[in-house]
Amino acid sequence: MTALLEVNNLHIAFRKEKSFIPTVEGVSFHVNSRETVGIVGESGCGKSVTSLAIMGLLPRGISRIDYGEILFEGQNLVGLSSEEYRKIRGREISMIFQEPMTSLNPVFTIGDQLMEMVLEHTAQPKKQAFKHSVEMLEKVGIPRAEEIMHDYPHQLSGGMRQRVMIAMALSLNPKLLIADEPTTALDVTIQAQILELMQQIKNDFDTSVIMITHDLGVVAEVCDRVVVMYAGKVVEQGDVKAIFKNPRHPYTIGLLQSVPSLTEERDQLYSIRGSVPLPENMPAGCRFASRCDHAKPECFEHEPPEVQIEGDHTTSCWLYR
Amino acid sequence: MTEPLLEVENLKKYFPIKKGLFRRTRGYVKAVDDVSFQLEEGETLGLVGESGCGKSTTGRTILQLLRPTSGRVLYRGQDLTGLNFQQLRPIRREMQMIFQDPYSSLNSRMTIRNILLEPMKIHGLYTKKEREERVEELLELVGLDRGVADRYPHEFSGGQRQRIGIARALTFQPRLIIADEPVSALDVSVQAQVLNLLQELQETFKLTYLFIAHDLSVVKHFSTRVGVMYLGRLVEIADKRRLYQSPRHPYTQALLSAVPVPDPEIKRERIVLSGDVPNPKNPPEGCAFHTRCPECMEICRVERPPMIEVEPGQFTACHLYS
Ligand SMILES: Nc1ncnc2c1ncn2[C@@H]1O[C@H](COP(=O)(O)OP(=O)(O)OP(=O)(O)O)[C@@H](O)[C@H]1O
Ligand SMILES: Nc1ncnc2c1ncn2[C@@H]1O[C@H](COP(=O)(O)OP(=O)(O)OP(=O)(O)O)[C@@H](O)[C@H]1O
Ligand code: SF4
Ligand SMILES: [Mg+2]
Ligand SMILES: [Mg+2]
């Protein structure tokens, strides 16, 4: 089976003053058709940057892809012209952004923004586009959809705005949806509504999803596979059950143990000591070594290679060599 | 029984909504609407609820950073609501606040040393030498190297900045700390470090916490009792175990069932509430939750449910039990 999306050895750098600093370094993962893949990891580890790269939306001038390929249905997206990317974005791959307010334009109505998307990519007449947009709003559970077409983003609640974003992202029935922290800004009861909606939509539309989140509960609930990132690299990936039941990388293990549980009582939480190294002074060996309880001398010197644990469960750690 | 450290009685905080050319008051946001609870010395009361339900306003009104519209706040038996600024000063040293956003709560142009010296200067306490010593003590208490004192806040990570905020709150050996979402902006691994630190400090100094948060798992781990707020009202308050094991209020039940559990093998029955939280400018009549409540009855639309002790130590404001 070929994957819908394959990211191979992706390297991305950001400019800081005069030089480019590597921020994503050799990230590889894939997304199969109809699959939900979760990406988790510490703030700043490169989750959003990776997804912007897939969308072809890395900020020009201050960032660049140094190496690697992004294969979508076999076609390499790295190096596509903006013209070519425009045909893919929204239509084949679309994204729900981390900050819903910045991605909806405050001066246009919800209807304008939804219809623009449809009109840009299809030859539908305006009337048809309006009807389609209303249908999309209804599909994401917005009551009074026709009225809301005339509302501005600030007139809606956070949960409603997120629904609009989802409607917009799905209005051209893309094959891949990237959701960057789609529920982080929302309250739990609204989050529950949105997660339910995303599950239902995924089934109805056969969409594959990349779900970026820091909430391990959300990952356990909606993802089939999980990619764990740390300081610009993938440290472990595999089936969601393997990652939660049989985590191997000390960072993954620490992360899972740091979460307070609703069902168990613990006197003290496990906590990973120290903090993430800064991009401009990344250590030579394993980037987690200074925080790791199991680090051996070689961990501080050489980068750990990727090791297969079982099936597609892999990890990059010297303990398993 | 000993006297509680803090008693909050029928606390209300209404913000006027001003509109039009003459800024006339056109109604009120009832941010806190008749809230009562007590805090025993050494305990941690968690306060949870959705955005805008009045958690922060409750905290600020207790500290008299905001003056209540009505109600009483008794700290060791003394009502703070009638006290003026001068009278509040010595009490303020004993009641401190830790904020959510370690970025904006620290002055970015001041070094860590000056940030920690400032409260002592304002209160005119200690000699110069004692102040300097206190700064070093405080840094050590929160697990920061004393060498960091001359750096600026932007040189620190979110978790370290939160430690600085905690150090500042500890300056005068407080007895009560109101922590308003102290770990919400932090990564999971850093969150655990900060929670453990707060717990150690509590044991060392016999601190009492009012711990405001929206993450129900964090609150469960950290609190001894938990109060649930909805639209300015306290709807349920109980011992932690009781609240999490047998929540009685339909809102508490829905809230708990909505939390995703980090275990892919557990598939839970979930109560998905319909609709959004109503606008606090225009809260529903009767029970504020009735517009979303799966159990809503006739009486819920018209009459506000009283707080009732449904089990020993478990109080619920819901007509199902009245
Ligand atoms: N526009 C930018 N200019 C400079 N550096 C950037 C920019 N965007 C991202 N970076 C850097 O790239 C790194 C990865 O950032 P990214 O936004 O991908 O993190 P993330 O994993 O999404 O974190 P979070 O969980 O906080 O959203 C960070 O070190 C960040 O400082
Ligand atoms: N200074 C103010 N003036 C007017 N309204 C205010 C003011 N402060 C808070 N409010 C309103 O009071 C209500 C309660 O706000 P509060 O900040 O206490 O909620 P919260 O529970 O802390 O929410 P969050 O979880 O988002 O921090 C909200 O509707 C808010 O808009
Ligand atoms: S009082 Fe009525 S509406 Fe309110 S929570 Fe109880 S059953 Fe629901
Ligand atoms: Mg991000
Ligand atoms: Mg608040």
Quote the pTM value: 0.90
What's the pLDDT tens digit per position in A291-311? 999 999 999 999 999 999 999
Is the pLDDT at A2 greater than 80? The verdict is no
Average pLDDT over residues A171-182: 92
Integer angstrom CA distances of residue A296 from A1, A250, B292: 38, 13, 55
Question: For residue A157, what pLDDT band results from cuts at 50, 70 and 90?
Answer: confident
Q: Which of A23, A24, A65, A235 to mutate to test the pocket of ligand 1 (most atoms within 8 A of CB)?
A: A23
User: Which residues keep their CB under 5 angstroms from ion ligand 4?
Assistant: A 48
Is the pLDDT at A96 greater than 80? The verdict is yes
Q: Which of these, A302, A135, A144, lies nearest to A204 by C-alpha position? A: A135
Cβ-Cβ contacts under 8 Å, A258 against chain B: 188-189, 191-192
Strands A75-76 and A36-41: unpaired
First-last CA distance in chain A: 29
**Quick one: pLDDT at residue B1?**
58
**B102: helix, coil or strand?**
coil
Amino acid identity of residue A48, one-letter, is S
Q: Which of B12, B13, B15, B28 to mutate to test the pocket of ligand 2 (most atoms within 8 A of CB)?
A: B15
Architecture per CATH, B6-94+172-316: 3-Layer(aba) Sandwich (3.40)
Alpha-carbon gap: B16 to the closest alpha carbon of chain A (Å): 21
**Quick one: pLDDT at residue A192?**
87
Q: Which of these, B109, B118, B133, B189, lies nearest to B157 by C-alpha position? A: B189
> Which residues in chain B land under pLDDT 50?
none
For chain A, the residues whose C-beta falls within 8 A of a C-beta of chain B are: 42-43, 157-160, 187-193, 195-196, 214-221, 240-241, 244-245, 254-256, 258-263, 266, 268-273, 275-276
Cα torsion angle, A248, B194, B153, B56, sign: positive
Cβ separation B259–A269 shorter than 8 A: no
Q: Across chain A, what does the average pLDDT equal?
A: 91
Query: Residues near A80 by Cβ (< 8 Å), separated by ≥ 6?
Result: A56, A88
C-alpha count within 13 angstroms, C-beta hemisphere, residue B274: 9
A48 lines ligand 1 (CB under 6 A): yes
Q: Over pLDDT 90: what percentage of chain A? A: 64
Using an 8 Å Cβ cutoff, are A65 and A231 in contact?
A: no
Question: For residue A189, what pLDDT band results from cuts at 50, 70 and 90?
Answer: confident
Tell me which of A275, A288, A313 to substitute to probe the interface with B (most B C-beta atoms closer than 10 Å).
A275
Q: Between A214, A218, A263, which is nearest B188 by CB?
A: A214
What's the pLDDT tens digit per position in B100-156? 876 777 888 999 999 999 999 999 889 999 999 999 999 998 988 888 899 998 888
Using an 8 Å Cβ cutoff, are B124 and B90 in contact?
A: no
ipTM tops the 0.95 cut? no
Average pLDDT over residues A154-182: 88
What's the pLDDT tens digit per position in B245-283? 999 999 999 999 999 989 999 887 888 888 777 888 888
Q: Over pLDDT 70: what percentage of chain B? A: 99
Cβ-Cβ contacts under 8 Å, B190 against chain A: 275
**Quick one: pLDDT at residue A201?**
82
Expressed in angstroms and rounded, the spacing between residue A121 Cα and the centre of ligand 1 is 30
Q: What value, to the nearest 5°, has the Cα angle with vertex A91 and ends A86 and A96?
A: 95
Distance, in Å, from the CA atom of B158 to the CA atom of B184, rounded to the nearest integer, reads 11
Average pLDDT over residues A94-105: 79
Is the pLDDT at A185 greater than 70? The verdict is yes
Is the pLDDT at A139 greater than 90? The verdict is no
Cβ-Cβ contacts under 8 Å, B187 against chain A: 42-43, 214
Expressed in angstroms and rounded, the spacing between residue A114 Cα and the centre of ligand 1 is 28
Output the six-digit token pair for A300: 């501080």
Distance, in Å, from the CA atom of B316 to the CA atom of B225, rounded to the nearest integer, reads 14
What's the pLDDT tens digit per position in A215-234? 999 999 999 999 999 999 99
Tell me which of A184, A189, A258 to substitute to probe the interface with B (most B C-beta atoms closer than 10 Å).
A189
Alpha-carbon gap: A123 to the closest alpha carbon of chain B (Å): 35
**A183: helix, coil or strand?**
coil
Ligand 2 site residues, Cβ closer than 6 angstroms: B 15, 29, 31, 49, 51-57, 214, 280
Chain B stretch 47-106, residues whose beta carbon is closer than 8 A to a beta carbon of chain A: 50-51
Question: For residue A100, what pLDDT band results from cuts at 50, 70 and 90?
Answer: low
- Integer-rounded Cα radius of gyration of chain A: 21
* Nearest listed ligand to the Cα of residue A49: 1
Average pLDDT over residues A76-101: 89
Cβ-Cβ contacts under 8 Å, A270 against chain B: 192
Average pLDDT over residues A275-300: 90
A45 lines ligand 1 (CB under 6 A): yes
Is the pLDDT at A101 greater than 70? The verdict is no
Cβ-Cβ contacts under 8 Å, A273 against chain B: 193
Query: Residues near B232 by Cβ (< 8 Å), separated by ≥ 6?
Result: B30, B31, B32, B33, B35, B53, B54, B280, B283, B288
Question: For residue A54, what pLDDT band results from cuts at 50, 70 and 90?
Answer: very high
Cβ-Cβ contacts under 8 Å, A259 against chain B: 188, 192, 217, 262
Integer angstrom CA distances of residue B306 from A86, A155, B47, B244: 58, 34, 19, 21
